Copies of this chain bind each other. A is one copy, B any other.
């Protein structure tokens, strides 16, 4: 059955049957009326974000399953909420799909989202489904909250703060490279480490709990999630905060898989870590006195956390300090859709 046969309302009902149900105390009215009603506890600030995935630009159905596409559409939004130190509560989905697409593919998209929503106790509270004359497009909006004035902005970093990142960097960009080659060149067996890199690109893990902890405890002075690549996103954070930064490239956390892959391609893992996009890890700054607390919390959650440098006064710019070498300025060359397309 495809969408043309099922109709929009039929499709919406099909989606809702399988979505996680919100508790009435938080979402008195979910999907089914003209809008959803969300109940906020007094004294809390609301966090709202939206991200869009476009077929042919942000994803290609020949590269990945519909389930992975749905998962990622929600994951990138959760990453934004995490980077504000917020707790995600509910989401809305705008989905435009070609009329000839089988309904089971749409089911798969929502299955991917439901999986992630279930894990984080998120409720689907609204949405819109429409036919699309060409490709697919998914817009997800996530609503969350923080304690009053507890949102972690990009603008709070101060000279002397330590710079941290969660997880490992550069895997996602390398995984995208593998996918592209795999589908444009002749078939060849894919080594284990390349399969790992592909998964890191397709199924990023939003750092929801840790981001929220950083916000609740007030440890992070500034935070951003890594979507455009460390070099570009660190610049965003520094510009918003009016500071500079010094990175130790040897300290950047890279996976063993990336190291092997980069070596075979005649490049270094650090290049991927600096320039790769879509890591969806958290980049944040912490005052020195809270460094140990943050490291301890990460250890308790089993999360890789790495100190990669420190914030310096604005006039010193953003630089790389190689061991036993002098500082060199960090040039920005990130990933922007229109320019790279």
> A57-B131, A99-B341, A224-B34 in contact; A52/B151 too (CB < 8 A)?
no
**Contacting residues, chain B, for A151 (C-beta < 8 A):** 28-29, 33, 37
Q: Flag whether A133 is at the interface (Cβ < 8 A).
A: yes
The complex places the Cα of A146 from the Cα of B154 at a distance, in Å, of 31
Taking a contact as CB atoms under 8 Å apart, the answer to whether B34 and A45 are in contact is: no
**Contacting residues, chain B, for A186 (C-beta < 8 A):** none
- Closest CB in chain B relative to A309 CB, distance in Å: 21
- Closest CB in chain B relative to A126 CB, distance in Å: 5
Q: Flag whether A94 is at the interface (Cβ < 8 A).
A: yes
> A54-B96, A154-B33 in contact; A341/B131 too (CB < 8 A)?
yes
CB-contact partner of A338 in B6, B49, B58, B128, under 8 A: B6
Given A48-B92, A141-B141, 13 further pairs, Cβ under 8 A: A28-B151, A29-B151, A35-B47, A35-B86, A35-B144, A36-B49, A49-B126, A52-B95, A52-B130, A57-B132, A99-B338, A133-B134, A134-B134
- Closest CB in chain B relative to A56 CB, distance in Å: 4
Which segment, of A77-85, A109-117, A167-175, A291-299, faces chain B?
Answer: A77-85
- Closest CB in chain B relative to A78 CB, distance in Å: 10
In order of increasing CB-CB distance, the 10 nearest A-B pairs are A42-B42, A134-B134, A35-B49, A139-B139, A56-B133, A38-B46, A94-B139, A52-B94, A34-B80, A34-B83
Most buried by B among A45, A94, A143, A153: A94
Taking a contact as CB atoms under 8 Å apart, the answer to whether A337 and B8 are in contact is: yes
Task: Count copies of this chain in the complex.
Answer: 2
Q: Flag whether A75 is at the interface (Cβ < 8 A).
A: no
> A8-B338, A336-B8, A338-B6 in contact; A128/B35 too (CB < 8 A)?
no
**Contacting residues, chain B, for A23 (C-beta < 8 A):** none
CB-contact partner of A39 in B34, B46, B81, B153, under 8 A: B46
Taking a contact as CB atoms under 8 Å apart, the answer to whether B37 and A40 are in contact is: no
Q: Flag whether A268 is at the interface (Cβ < 8 A).
A: no
**Contacting residues, chain B, for A130 (C-beta < 8 A):** 52, 54, 57-58, 337
- Residues of A with Cβ closer than 8 Å to B? 3-4, 6-9, 11, 28-29, 32-40, 42-52, 54-58, 80-81, 83-84, 86, 90, 92-96, 99, 125-128, 130-135, 137, 139, 141-144, 146, 148-149, 151, 153-155, 223-225, 240, 336-339, 341
**Contacting residues, chain B, for A48 (C-beta < 8 A):** 35-38, 90, 92, 125-126, 143
Could you jot down 26 A-B contacts, CB within 8 Å?
A: A8-B337, A11-B338, A28-B149, A28-B151, A29-B153, A32-B154, A34-B154, A34-B223, A34-B224, A35-B47, A37-B45, A37-B151, A39-B45, A48-B125, A48-B126, A49-B92, A49-B126, A50-B92, A50-B127, A54-B131, A92-B141, A96-B137, A99-B338, A131-B337, A139-B139, A141-B141
Taking a contact as CB atoms under 8 Å apart, the answer to whether B52 and A84 are in contact is: no
Most buried by B among A43, A135, A224, A339: A339
List the B residue with the shortest CB-CB distance to A133.
Answer: B56
> A37-B45, A86-B35, A134-B133 in contact; A338/B54 too (CB < 8 A)?
no
**Contacting residues, chain B, for A3 (C-beta < 8 A):** 338
Taking a contact as CB atoms under 8 Å apart, the answer to whether B133 and A55 are in contact is: yes
